[in-house]
Amino acid sequence: MHRVVLTTALVMAGFLDVATGACMSTSESTLQIVLPHEPGSTAELLAATHIFEIRPTAVETTQWKRGSDGLEHRELIAHLLLGPVFKGDVGLTPGGEFILRAPQVREDALTVSDWHGFWSQTELHVGESRIALAESPGSNPAELLLEPAIRELADATLGVDFTAAAQLESQYARKLRADDAAAGSAALALLKQVADGRARYGGALGRYVWARIAPIYASNEATLQPAVLGIALAADTTSGLRLAMVMGLDQQLLNHESTPAQHAQLLGSLLRLLLLPQARPMREWLVQTVLPGQVFGEHGATVAAARIVPDAAERRRLTAAISAMPEQRAQDLVRWLETPTAP
């Protein structure tokens, strides 16, 4: 483990506020990095060996040239300042400079139809900080930004999620591995902290949370499900965190069978998400992927709409929200809502 290093070089590079001593990134200067490397984790903050911030000071490219493979090739050359290092050793002091040289490939100026590598699909802009997530045994920052090491180049706000995840890891990781009752209490306390920061946290923190609570979720569903749904349904939850929390629930639905009461609570909450304006980006996914599996079985509906949504006016609002979608699954849900006493 190490600490985020903030030096005079960071001040000169613009990563540190001289007046307040606060890091201009979203990390905290006193945060001790405690997130382990867990290969294959669904949480990118755990799967990465290295997480560090970069800021381009100059970006240029060579001329496109057609190669023997029929594709056009050029090189991206970026001069980068290293910002806070959240995880892993990158062999350079924050505030230091290094150069990235990355290959870019395309069909032609008007066509981008295939995947031609990470940097063929990624842009850098001078002055715009980004956070790199990489997985590699190496420590050279330029090499960590190249394939096969590079996994993602996230918005600088990812630092908020990392800071929160590191704090949660320090507080709860050991408790979550305790006996079932103690682990359930720790998971509930963890979710309470996430709920308190739901207007700031993003999807990366949500995926970290599920990586930690998933192993004990089924045995503590009665208490954890309402806490997860509370985060998902809050109007001020960020879109990334909301989606991550609901996707985690959806994955749990594949792994175990809930009690009828818990299923009804979950289904009702997922339906109410359709009426939440802030959850509009999720509407099609919920209707096409998540809700049908919760409403219908092999031989039709498995639960009456009136049991899940007793308020007739609310059922009409749901019908209106779904009916504009022409797909078969959407229309099946509409018919279910319009026949509330079936099955």
pLDDT tens-place string over residues 1-30: 344 434 333 443 444 443 333 444 444 433
74/181 same-domain check: no
317/169 same-domain check: yes
Which of 125, 158, 191 is at the close of a domain?
158
Q: Could you report the per-residue pLDDT of 137-189, keeping only the tens digit for each?
A: 999 999 999 999 999 999 999 999 999 999 999 999 999 998 878 999 999 99
Which of 129, 158, 187 is at the close of a domain?
158
Sequence-distant (≥ 6) Cβ neighbours of residue 146 within 8 angstroms: 100, 102, 118, 119
259 CB-contact burial (10 Å; exposed 0-12 / middle 13-18 / buried 19+) = exposed
Percent of the chain with pLDDT over 90: 80
Other Cβ atoms less than 10 A from the Cβ of 269: the count is: 19
303/178 same-domain check: yes
Give the residues across from 66 on adjacent strands.
Answer: 72
83/12 same-domain check: yes
With contact defined as beta carbons under 8 Å apart, do 342 and 301 qualify? yes
H-assigned helices in the chain: 8-13, 44-47, 141-144, 158-172, 180-196, 203-217, 221-233, 239-255, 260-273, 283-285, 291-295, 305-308, 312-323, 328-338
31/146 same-domain check: yes
Q: How far is 49 from 30, CA to CA, in rounded Å? A: 21
Residue 1: inside a domain: no
Q: How many domains does the chain have?
A: 2
82/164 same-domain check: no
Residue 333: inside a domain: yes
Range of the domain at 247: 159-338
Q: Provide mean pLDDT across the span 93-105.
A: 97
89/122 same-domain check: yes
Q: How far is 165 from 213, CA to CA, in rounded Å? A: 13
First to last CA, the chain: 57
Give the residues across from 9 on adjacent strands.
Answer: none
Peptide bond into 277 cis (omega under 30): no
Q: Provide mean pLDDT across the span 92-102.
A: 97
Other Cβ atoms less than 10 A from the Cβ of 303: the count is: 18
Unique residue bearing structure tokens 């954890």: 224
Residue 3: inside a domain: no
195/217 same-domain check: yes
Amino acid identity at 296: F
Q: Which two tokens stand for residue 234?
A: 């809050």
223/294 same-domain check: yes
Q: Could you report the per-residue pLDDT of 191-247, keeping only the tens digit for each?
A: 999 999 999 999 999 999 999 999 999 999 999 999 999 999 999 999 999 999 999
255/140 same-domain check: no
Give the residues across from 154 on adjacent strands.
Answer: 131
